[in-house]
């Protein structure tokens, strides 16, 4: 599917030409009809000789409505530049051309309108001026067709020219992540909220769950229309009308983006490659305030140049835009920045919500350049160096088709520059850095707790702020390289790490161990070792801590458990009183033993007695 978008100066006949070509009036608003001036976007469609059914977006030409023009230019595949024969290229002709360049619109056709109002020799002069105007722009060399919407001159030739131009226009990408920048939101009685826009990067279907960003609104597609006809499925490049359930019209506005769930995150800052227009009246300086525009989104922003102090006419530079209000965009989208009265610059978005960069930092500038120009595998390697990605994210994040994304992944895996852990891809540099951080975290923990033989896994995972599967991968890497060893309870410690007790601690342990061993089933509960020393004894397997202030010698405890098991096997159950009598101890100790056995899933309480847990219960 393709979208043709008009461009050109005010009163050069864009809307009249669209009406003549499509028999659809693109001017929707009463004010537009009364004033004969296009104010907002208009929409129509056209059947071409090849059988293509294309959408047409008509944009306003007046300088006061440039933002509306920009909202319609996003997603356009072919520009129809309109120049009136009685005036020739004018101010907005040049500005619209500059915008088409900044938005990287693939192809273009030029229509000279109102040819019935002037002599043919004058049209020849206008055409020559148009050729000069197009020089150095993306539309240089574009076909030029002479027309008159009033008498129908050249309309068939224009339709055929548009058809031929679309033969060489790249098809819309399908990245499996549909996005619809919203240009209109309204209510249809009996149906509810409807939004329109040009569908990008994926398909939409009736019943699909969707999300609106910024804002995080969630709903479902109730119905779809294309060119006034109902549809069950719409593909990329379609001008779509989407009827939503679960979302109210008053919650919606131009600039929001409808997408599959969890595709978009509101962007507060962006790394961009800005090219200033040749028309720029004065340089754009560092920390200037501008208006950011991309597709239908708009926000005030501050420009932080990363490689210069100012950007002059025709120059290109790296910048970070800090936005006042969030927008929903993705890397490789195009953007434009404007001052109050002119289009200043624009170019591709390279990163969304990046960290703040040092200015004039060569490695940063080189990395940004690779993300824009390097082969897919190198761009993927840079992204994975910053953090893991799921395999399914590679195509959307890099703007690649499925086959290109798979090839980039395979290239890195074969070169051992990345590893695949389930559905997650991890770059080798990131894994090396994360493993070093884990080793440091273990060492820090053991320095702070010198009597602990291991650093607990959950503490370490929390310290590194990693998801369980990624943490497991990092642990496996440190164990593989023998930087760490798994110890008791799954904790980690460096190879050949041994806890060393002081002489005073050794004496304290000896006295305590002798006392609880002698106490048997009734060990003393006073004069316990400090918590760290007690944790050491537990970690070394010398004692069993019931958690209720009762500490048993490990061998004594194992004997107690063995005798309780035997009693249950013989009698079917055991009560607290029976345990008390069995060991000749007090209720306090009997209760501590039984509650600890319950907590460790050895026994299960049923009424006033305990029974053994089955192996099936323990698995569940």
pLDDT digits 0-9 by tens, 476-497: 999 999 999 998 778 899 988 8
Distance between the two ends of the chain, CA-based, in angstroms?
Answer: 54
- Give mean pLDDT, residues 251-269: 91
**Which of 40-49, 456-465, 590-599 is the least confident region?**
40-49
Residue 39 has pLDDT above 60, yes or no: no
* d(C-alpha 564, C-alpha 247), whole Å: 62
- The CATH T-level fold of domain 3-167 is Rossmann fold (3.40.50)
Question: How many CB atoms within 10 Å of residue 300?
Answer: 12
What dotted CATH number matches 374-500? 1.10.10
Higher pLDDT, 11 or 612: 612
- Give mean pLDDT, residues 298-309: 96
Locate 364 and state its tokens: 């940063």
- Give mean pLDDT, residues 193-208: 92
pLDDT band with cut points at 50, 70 and 90 for residue 32: very low
Indicate if 503-619 has the same CATH topology as 374-500: yes
What dotted CATH number matches 179-260? 2.40.30.10
Strands (E), 189-315: 192-198, 204-205, 209-213, 217-226, 229-231, 233-234, 239-245, 257-260, 267-276, 284-285, 289-294, 297-305, 310-311
User: Rounded to the nearest 5 degrees, what angle is found at the Cα of 224, between the Cα atoms of 219 and 228?
Assistant: 145
pLDDT band with cut points at 50, 70 and 90 for residue 104: confident
Can you tell me which residue has the tokens 């395999």?
A: 391
Residue 26 has pLDDT above 70, yes or no: no
pLDDT of residue 30: 59
pLDDT of residue 65: 45
Higher pLDDT, 462 or 539: 462
pLDDT of residue 386: 81
**Which of 94-103, 552-561, 592-601 is the least confident region?**
94-103
- The CATH T-level fold of domain 267-365 is Elongation Factor Tu (Ef-tu); domain 3 (2.40.30)
pLDDT of residue 37: 47
Q: Output the CA torsion 219→222→227→232 (10° steps).
A: 110
What dotted CATH number matches 503-619? 1.10.10.10
Higher pLDDT, 143 or 41: 143
* d(C-alpha 555, C-alpha 557), whole Å: 5
Q: Give residue limits of the domains in the chain.
A: 3-167, 179-260, 267-365, 374-500, 503-619
């Amino acid at each position: 599917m393709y979208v043709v978008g008009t461009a050109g100066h005010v009163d050069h006949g864009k809307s009249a030409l669209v009406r003549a070509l499509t028999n659809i009036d693109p001017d929707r608003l009463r004010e537009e009809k009364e004033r004969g001036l296009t104010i907002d976007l208009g929409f129509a469609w056209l059947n071409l000789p090849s059988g293509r059914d294309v959408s047409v977006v008509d944009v306003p030409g007046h300088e006061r409505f440039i933002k509306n023009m920009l909202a319609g230019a996003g997603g356009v595949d072919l520009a129809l530049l309109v120049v009136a024969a009685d005036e020739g290229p004018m101010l907005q002709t040049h500005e619209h051309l500059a915008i088409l360049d900044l938005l990287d619109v693939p192809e273009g056709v030029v229509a000279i309108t109102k040819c019935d109002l002037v002599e043919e020799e004058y049209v020849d002069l206008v055409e020559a001026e148009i050729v000069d105007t197009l020089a150095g722009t993306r539309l240089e060399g574009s076909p030029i067709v002479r027309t008159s919407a009033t008498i129908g001159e050249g309309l068939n030739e224009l339709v055929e020219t548009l058809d031929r131009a679309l033969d060489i226009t790249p098809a819309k990408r399908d990245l499996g992540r549909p996005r619809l920048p919203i240009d209109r939101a309204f209510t249809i009685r009996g149906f509810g909220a409807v939004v329109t826009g040009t569908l990008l990067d994926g398909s939409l279907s009736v019943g699909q769950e969707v999300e609106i960003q910024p804002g995080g609104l969630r709903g479902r597609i109730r119905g779809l229309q294309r060119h006034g006809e109902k549809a069950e499925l719409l593909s990329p490049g379609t001008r779509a009308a989407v009827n939503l359930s679960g979302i109210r019209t008053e919650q919606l506005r131009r600039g929001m983006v409808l997408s599959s769930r969890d595709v978009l995150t509101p962007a507060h800052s962006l790394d961009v490659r800005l090219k200033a227009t040749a028309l720029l009246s004065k340089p754009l300086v560092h920390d200037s305030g501008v208006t950011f525009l991309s597709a239908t989104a708009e926000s005030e922003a501050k420009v932080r140049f990363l490689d210069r102090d100012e950007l002059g006419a025709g120059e290109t530079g790296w910048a970070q835009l800090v936005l006042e209000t969030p927008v929903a965009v993705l890397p490789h989208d195009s953007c434009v920045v404007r001052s109050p009265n002119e289009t200043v610059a624009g170019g591709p978005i390279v990163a969304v919500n990046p960290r703040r960069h040092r200015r004039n930092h060569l490695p940063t500038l080189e990395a940004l350049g690779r993300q824009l120009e390097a082969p897919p595998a190198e761009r993927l390697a840079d992204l994975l160096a910053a953090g893991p990605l799921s395999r399914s994210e590679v195509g959307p994040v890099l703007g690649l088709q499925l086959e290109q994304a798979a090839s980039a992944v395979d290239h890195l895996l074969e070169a051992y520059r990345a590893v695949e852990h389930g559905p997650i891809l991890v770059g080798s540099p990131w894994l090396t850095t994360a493993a070093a951080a884990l080793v440091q975290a273990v060492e820090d923990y053991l320095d702070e707790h010198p009597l602990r033989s291991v650093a607990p896994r959950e503490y370490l995972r929390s310290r590194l702020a990693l998801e369980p599967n990624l943490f497991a991968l990092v642990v496996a890497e440190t164990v593989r390289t023998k930087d760490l060893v798994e110890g008791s309870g799954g904790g980690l410690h460096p190879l050949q790490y041994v806890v060393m007790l002081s002489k005073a601690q050794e004496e304290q342990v000896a006295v305590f161990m002798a006392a609880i061993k002698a106490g048997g089933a009734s060990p003393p509960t006073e004069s316990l070792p400090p918590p760290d020393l007690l944790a050491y004894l537990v970690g070394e397997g010398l004692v069993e801590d019931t958690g209720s202030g009762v500490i048993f010698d490990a061998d004594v405890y194992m004997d107690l458990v063995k005798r309780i098991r035997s009693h249950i096997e013989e009698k079917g159950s055991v009560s607290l009183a029976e345990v008390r009598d069995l060991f000749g101890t007090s209720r306090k100790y009997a209760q501590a033993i039984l509650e600890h056995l319950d907590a460790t899933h050895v026994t299960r309480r049923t009424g006033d007695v305990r029974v053994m847990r089955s192996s099936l219960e323990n698995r569940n």
